Structure formats: structure tokens, C-alpha cells
Structure 1
Amino acid sequence: MGSSVRKKREKKKDFQKPKLKVGKTKAKADNFTDTSFKSKAIVVNQQSLSTTAPSSSSQFSHYLSLASSSKSDSQRRDALSYLTTQIASKPVNDPMPLPTAILLPKLLPLILDGSSSVRSQVLRLFRLLSPSDIGDRVEQALLYTRAGMTHLAAEIRVDALAVLEWLLEVAKDDVVTCPGGWVKTLKTFMSMMGWAVSSSSSKWTSASKVSFGKAGKAFPRQLLVLAQFLKAGLIETDTEPTIGKDSGLFPLCDVARHMIPQRSNAFAHLNLFGSSRDEEGEMYIDREDRQRVFQRRFQSAVAIGVANAKKEAGEAGRSASVLSKVLLEGMADYESVDDTQ
């Protein structure tokens, strides 16, 4: 009797609905872990503890990596500020923490950075670099500079002009003689200023020049920088000492021209082992060659643009007068040659 009653009760339990009370918490699982405790210490995995501080070169490399790869604008700006301070505070005769050949490839892309504070800070850093280390790397710097000059953002175009001014200050000869430095940079100016002539038969310009608003404020600056660029390429600056009758060393003449070249890779313009170059990527070492290319491809468009800018008067007219003076002085002694014969 007892066993049968017990079995009936057990079967009845399977069909009984449990009564739930309002507000009753759910039962905790068997593998529940209590995490309600509070810790007074923070443990960081893989932390490095050392009694010696990192060297200045390793810190410099770390901040250089932050400046070139960080996704935060403020972090890139602060890293550049640290690099600028370290370079400016080092003794004159001490070497750079890292050579310029390593610094420039990582910092040049910041010319196109979207933050104005980052672009201004990287330009301050550029001005602290040794001018003797810039000449051999002008070609790479011009790639980013030309990209900035034709950028969609007006602020980046203005800052790219500042970078080009710096390059003309420290290595103007290399700017106009490096591969693509003359023709490609002139084409960039024509496109930026709206003076580029299309290849169609209509002879209309491919872009219209707007001289009001933000573009109007930047236009006089563009004229002045173009004048500096043309002055570096078209006006001859005779800095080499002349050795002749007046020096008392007759009959030794033009000795400086037969000495060992001071610039590295002095025969790069011959392109003996490189890939073939077109007219735009060619190196124009001689002033006469630059005059010839400028007269054939750009002089008429520049002359029309300068004439229109003079009509606007004001700051644009004064800048156009400076550019006109450079054109007259640079092309005064050039005689056009017919290349078709």
C-alpha cells in the first residue's frame, strides 16, 4: 500500500505547475561566479618593468611612429610637437636622433593630413631639418606637394604652397632639375589656378578661375609662389667663382666647371640605367632647356592669366605684376627654336 501511494505522488509531481511568486529572483546556475567584489589595483598584462629609462632614440622612434600612424588628430599633433622639440633642442654638432632619410618618408604624407594643426606642425618640423639633406629627396617631397596643391580642400592647397616655398628656400636648384620637377609642377600650377589649356580645338581653358571667396584669398598667394618657382628655373644665378684674366690665373678658365661635382648622382639626368622618361618626367638641368619647354607649353597660358589678374587690381594685381616681372627677366634672352625641322 505504502509503495503504491508513493509512486502515485511522484507521478503527480510531474504534472504539477509550480507556483511563481512576484519579485522572486531566478535561481542561480550551478556554474555561477560571483563578480560583485571590487579591486583596488589594476593589473595590465605584458607590462614591462625596468630600472633603466628608454633611450632618447627609442623614444624618438616611438613618437615618430605615433605621428605617422596614429588615427587621432591630437595624438599626431602632440607627437610631432615632441619631435620638433627634440630636434630644436639638440646641440648644433650632435647628429639627428634619426637620419633624414628615415624621417621624410614617414612625415611627407602628413602634408595631406585633414587636420590643419598637424599640417602646420609638420611644416615647423621640416624647417628644422638640415638643407643639405633635403636636396636628394626633393623628388619624393614634390610628389606629396603636388598632390596637396590639387587637393579638393582649399586649406590643404594653401598649406601645400607653404611646403613648396620651403623647398624653394632650401633646395631650389633640385626642385627645378629633379625628374618631373619642372614640367609636372608647372602643370600642377596651371590646373590649380585654372590656366590649363585643354587639348581640344576650341582653345577654351579646362577650368575656370574663381577670384572671390576662399579661392580669391588664395589666388595672390598662388601667383607669388609661381613667381618664386619660375624665378628659380628661368633666372640664372651665377654663384660659381669665375677664374680668368681678372683673377691672375690666366690661362686657367672655367676651372670650377671641370672639378668634381658637388651634388650626388651628378649624371642622373643622362638616365643611363633607369627606365625611359617622357617629356614630363625628364630632368631639365640646363636653363635653356627649361626656357624652351616653358615657352612651348606654358608661356601663352601664363601670359593670358597674368593679364587677367592685373585687371582685378588689389592684391591679385600686385602679385601678378611681380610674376610679370619674373617672366620678362627670365625669358628676355631666350630665342625660340623651331624643333620641327
Structure 2
Amino acid sequence: MGSSSKRKKEKQKDFQKPKLKVGKTRAKPENFTDTSFKSKSIVLNQQSLHLNAPSSNSVFTHNLSLLTSKSDSQPSERDAPFASPLILDGNTNVRTQLVKLLRTLPRHDIEDHVAQLLPYIRAGMTHLAADIRVSAVEILSWMVEAAGEQVVSCPGGWIKTLNCFLSVLGWHTEESSKWSSNRASFGKSGSQGRPMVKVLGVLAEFLDAGIGQHDAGDDESPEDDGFSSIWPFPLSCTGQHMISDSSAPYAYLNLFGQPRDEEGEMYETREDRFRVFSNRFMPVIERGVKSAREEGGEMGRASSGVSKVLKEAISYGPGA
């Protein structure tokens, strides 16, 4: 009985209001933290002051170090050359600054990095977010303009990228249907057809780089190929047998890489690309262009660019 009455008295203490005397403050709780102090100085570790402005190399190195930053408040500093994962960044400002930066890079710096950029671009083209898909298509347009030959001839650059285009446009073959079952929606602006117009325009640029007539050559004689003035008689066309100046001249052999299937293969010549295109993509793209032309308006005008490339490619034939 004694213990029970003791517990009752302890519980009653919790509900009793303490009597405060005049001029005395309430007792502070046990977990009270004093925050009334004020700091009179701020110390920054590793701070350095220079009379001269930092060099461009140091600024560039600093920007590279910020690539892993998760803050969206500094998008301009997070961008750097060939920052491939930023293509899929959820922040619109980051992707916008990335596109602006990529457009300032010299072309010879882009050609050797096409194979690393393309997988991220294809992932962006089939992304769930509509704005990321639009950004990926825009970046692909820039890369085709800067290094079109490398884009269409790198591993997976031809078939896999075409499958992405078909998935975005809803022009499915049996293979491209694995990427997406329905036509990709471009959000609110998609109802006006503007993103689809952009996709059709980039598709025309991509097809022109892969099977366009500019790859067919001008039927020049061996003496006019630019090598005869360099190599004296009796050497002829020797430059064509020299090792390429690219960073990976034997990449097409895939000596140390994973085995490639037909989709991941390199199609370095126009003849090979036209053969694959005519067998797997020509009918479905022709049907899609016809459907887009029937819609009229901007879609119809954009489809005419694709149709023009197809007609020129067919007229020149596979062996052109």
C-alpha cells in the first residue's frame, strides 16, 4: 500500500503548478539550451586572398569540382564539358546552361566523346519527364551538327538512335516497340505539336548525316582526293592507308569490348547504314511521314524535311 500511495503523490506533482514569488522567473527545464550568446568573429578555413584574378584554368577546375553538387541554386557553375549525367538533370536551368556550354565547344573536342554522350541522350529522349525529352533532342541536334559522321557511325549510334526517334514519334517497328509502347507525351506544349515539329526536324538532320547525298562523294578521281600532292610518285593514295588521327582508330574492331549485337554495331559507311535503314526502318518512317503530312500545319511542313532526305537517299541508292 505504501508504494502505491507514493506513486500517486509523484503523479500529482506533474499536475501541480509551482508557486512563483514576485521578481523570480520560472525555473528552466532540464533540456534547456542557452542560445543568447553572440559571435563576434567568423573564421573561414582555407581562405586565401589574391591581388590578381584567378586564371581561366583555375576557374575551369573549380567548376569541374562542382559537378557533384546537389544544389540547384548554382546551375551555371555545375555545368562542364561533357558532363553527360547533366543531360538527365531534373533542373531546367542546369540543362539550359549545359546546352549553351556545349555549343561553345570546338568540334574537334566533341568527336572523341560522342560515344559517351549518346547513351545519355537516348535515355533523355525516352525519359518520363517531357522537358528532359525536349532537351535531349536539342542536344542531339547540336551533336549531329558538330560531329554528324561520328554520331551515326559510333557503336549503337545508328540503330539505337533511330529506335529512340520512332518511340518518341510513335512510329513503331517490332524492335522500337520495346523502348516504349505509346507515343511519348510532351506535356502541355505537346498538344500544340511544337515538340514533335522539333523532333521531326532533328530526325531529318540525323538521316541526312547517315544516308544523305553529302556522304556519297563527288565521283572524284584518285588524283583529286587531296593525297597526290603529298605523296610523290610512285606512291598513290597512300594517305587512305595511314592510321587515323582519331583517339581510337581501331575501335571498330572491338578487340577488348563487350560482344555487340546488331543494334550496338558500328556502321561506318553510308552503304551499310542505308542497307540497315531500308530493311528495318524505311517502310515505317515513310508511313509516319505520310501521316504527319496529312495533319498539315507545322507538322506537315516539318515532315517535308524528312521526306526530302528519304527521296534523295533512295535516288542515290545503296552504293552511292
Report the TM-score range of the alignment, normalised by the length of the smaller protein. Answer: 0.7 to 0.9
Q: Classify 1:331/1:36 alpha carbon distance in 2 versus 1 (closer, same or farther; 3 Å).
A: same
Select which of 221, 226, 230 maps to 2:198: 221
Partner residue, 1:129? 105
Select which of 185, 193, 198 maps to 2:169: 193
Structure 1 residue 179 displacement after superposition: 0.6
Partner residue, 2:271? 288
1:323 is aligned with what amino acid?
A: V
Q: Classify 1:261/1:286 alpha carbon distance in 2 versus 1 (closer, same or farther; 3 Å).
A: same
Q: Distance in 1 between matches of 2:33 and 2:131?
A: 57
Residue 70 of structure 2: SS of its match in structure 1? coil
Q: Distance in 2 between matches of 1:72 and 1:282?
A: 39
2:223 is aligned with what amino acid?
A: G
Partner residue, 2:149? 173
Q: Distance in 2 between matches of 1:33 and 1:222?
A: 60
Q: Classify 1:197/1:207 alpha carbon distance in 2 versus 1 (closer, same or farther; 3 Å).
A: farther
Partner residue, 2:13? none
Q: Distance in 2 between matches of 1:121 and 1:245?
A: 44
Q: Deviation string for 1:245-275 (max 9, x for gaps)?
A: 8989998764542344233322221223322
Structure 1 residue 238 displacement after superposition: 3.0
- Using structure 2 for the length normalisation, give the TM-score: 0.77
Partner residue, 2:73? 74
Partner residue, 1:115? 91
Q: Classify 1:116/1:242 alpha carbon distance in 2 versus 1 (closer, same or farther; 3 Å).
A: farther
Q: Classify 1:240/1:119 alpha carbon distance in 2 versus 1 (closer, same or farther; 3 Å).
A: farther
Partner residue, 1:44? 43
CA-atom RMSD, angstroms?
Answer: 3.7
Matched ranges for 1:59-70 at <5 A: 59-66=59-66, 68-70=67-69
Gaps of 5+ in 2: 1-17
Q: Deviation string for 1:214-253 (max 9, x for gaps)?
A: 2221111111100110110102253897433898999876
Partner residue, 1:230? 207
> Is it true that 1:307 corresponds to 2:306 in the alignment?
no
Partner residue, 1:244? 223
Partner residue, 1:141? 117
Partner residue, 2:182? 207
1:285 is aligned with what amino acid?
A: E
Q: Classify 1:245/1:309 alpha carbon distance in 2 versus 1 (closer, same or farther; 3 Å).
A: closer
> Is it true that 1:183 corresponds to 2:166 in the alignment?
no
Q: Classify 1:70/1:264 alpha carbon distance in 2 versus 1 (closer, same or farther; 3 Å).
A: closer
Q: Given that residues 123 and 163 in structure 1 are in contact (C-alpha distance below 8 angstroms), is that contact kept between their aligned partners in structure 2?
A: yes
Greater RCO, 1 or 2 (C-alpha within 8 Å, sep 6+):
2
Q: Given that residues 126 and 184 in structure 2 are in contact (C-alpha distance below 8 angstroms), is that contact kept between their aligned partners in structure 1?
A: no
2:61 is aligned with what amino acid?
A: S
2:148 is aligned with what amino acid?
A: K
The number of aligned residues is 291
Residue 332 of structure 1: SS of its match in structure 2? helix
Select which of 299, 307, 320 maps to 1:324: 307
- Using structure 1 for the length normalisation, give the TM-score: 0.73
Q: Distance in 1 between matches of 2:175 and 2:224?
A: 52
Identical residues among aligned pairs (%): 47
2:300 is aligned with what amino acid?
A: G
Moved more, 206-215 or 170-179: 206-215
Gaps of 5+ in 1: 1-18, 84-102, 337-341
Q: Distance in 2 between matches of 1:309 and 1:35?
A: 68
Structure 1 residue 311 displacement after superposition: 0.5
Q: Deviation string for 1:8-53 (max 9, x for gaps)?
A: xxxxxxxxxxx933664245799x99764544x2333635355677
Q: Given that residues 131 and 186 in structure 2 are in contact (C-alpha distance below 8 angstroms), is that contact kept between their aligned partners in structure 1?
A: no
